[in-house]
Amino acid sequence: MEIKAELKNMGLQHLSGLTERKSLGQHVFENIKQAIIKGDIPSGQRLVESRLAATLDISRTPVREAIHKLEREGYLTKRPRGGFVVLGLGSDDIEETFGIRGVLEGYAARLAAIKHDEKDLEPLEARIRTFQQHLDNGNLEVLPDINTEFHELLYALSRSPRLIKMINDLKDQIYRFRQMILKDAELAGMSNEDHRHMLEFIKRRDAKGVEKVVREHLMRGQTAVMKSIKGNSV
């Protein structure tokens, strides 16, 4: 019970019961990474290799592998006095990621307006309705996943596998941003309204119009994220 409680406190309850050595380091890596992305492990939290290994009741080797991989991917940084801390999102990271997203996602929306079939739009409409229902009921915690589903369906309408892969390479970073934006009900409402506008332009096959809406949508998102990290640093 103590181990389970410790894992829950660290946002790693899904790691309880790991006993197989095969790919254990990868299991630990993926679970810690997802906990960071979803905000279960907040920025600034300290992670200590020996404590993690003891809590999980496994050797330090797979934990060490996971931690160093997370460090290489930019999720953790080493502390001078030992241990690691979860890295927050810097303004340069935010500006760069949103800038890239504006180009890629704007182009994907443009292609979607040109290439879609009418039957392809119902799943997008369904996600907008579901998002609004949960927003109206105050279920903000489920909104990032619904939002992600909407955008992935939209990207798919571009019919461009290479473009979709390029967007998906930013998926984890994008999800961290969505978590920050959609915890605010007002911003979540604005986001869903943007989605309605995107769908309207796509229905009219207005490639230029939908690209403009997507870029404006992302600029508002960038502003919200920047405001959030500045507020957290005060």
Whether residues 171 and 216 share a domain: the answer is yes
Query: End-to-end distance of the chain based on CA atoms, in angstroms?
Result: 37
Of the candidates 33, 63, 86, which is a domain's last residue? 86
In this predicted structure, what is the pLDDT of residue 183? Answer: 92
In this predicted structure, what is the pLDDT of residue 153? Answer: 97
Q: What's the CA gap between 7 and 56, in Å, rounded?
A: 8
> Number of folded domains in the chain?
2
CATH, residue 119: 1.20.120.530
Whether residues 142 and 157 share a domain: the answer is yes
CATH, residue 76: 1.10.10.10
Average pLDDT over residues 152-168: 97
Q: Contact at 8 Å (CB) between 187 and 171?
A: no
Whether residues 217 and 113 share a domain: the answer is yes
Q: What's the CA gap between 139 and 118, in Å, rounded?
A: 30
Q: Contact at 8 Å (CB) between 128 and 192?
A: yes
In this predicted structure, what is the pLDDT of residue 5? Answer: 52
In this predicted structure, what is the pLDDT of residue 98? Answer: 96
Q: Contact at 8 Å (CB) between 111 and 160?
A: yes
In this prediction, residue 9 has a pLDDT band, given cuts at 50, 70 and 90, of: low
Whether residues 209 and 137 share a domain: the answer is yes
Strand ranges (E), the chain: 46-47, 76-78, 84-86
Q: Residue 234: pLDDT above 50?
A: no
Q: 53-67, 142-156, 189-203 — which is least confidently predicted? A: 53-67
Per residue in 198-232, pLDDT tens?
999 999 999 999 999 999 999 999 999 999 887 65
Domain carrying residue 138: 91-233
Whether residues 72 and 107 share a domain: the answer is no
In this predicted structure, what is the pLDDT of residue 3? Answer: 43
Of the candidates 40, 66, 86, which is a domain's last residue? 86
Whether residues 216 and 115 share a domain: the answer is yes
Average pLDDT over residues 156-181: 94
